[in-house]
Amino acid sequence: MKGVDRDTFIQQNMGLVGMVVNKLAYRITDNPFIDREDLTNIGAIGLIKAYDRFDPSYEVQFSTYAVP
């Protein structure tokens, strides 16, 4: 996206990752091999990819695009 610092934007939108992690962690609480930190790291990678691929010309909010 033009005019927005990538690192700042990612930091400001990590709340989206937290929201998705909370939903997933609730569903997989019985799996000892996956923890919240792993989910958060994977979510951060997904957020970065969403930032890189997002096209604001579609007139959709980033959060709508980024969260499945």
> Domain residues of the chain, as ranges?
6-66
State pLDDT tens for residues 38-53: 999 999 999 999 999 9
Give residue 11's pLDDT: 96
CB burial class (10 A; 0-12, 13-18, 19+) of residue 43?
A: buried
Overall pTM > 0.85 = no
| C-beta separation of 63 from 13 below 8 A | yes
Percent of residues, the chain, with pLDDT higher than 70: 96
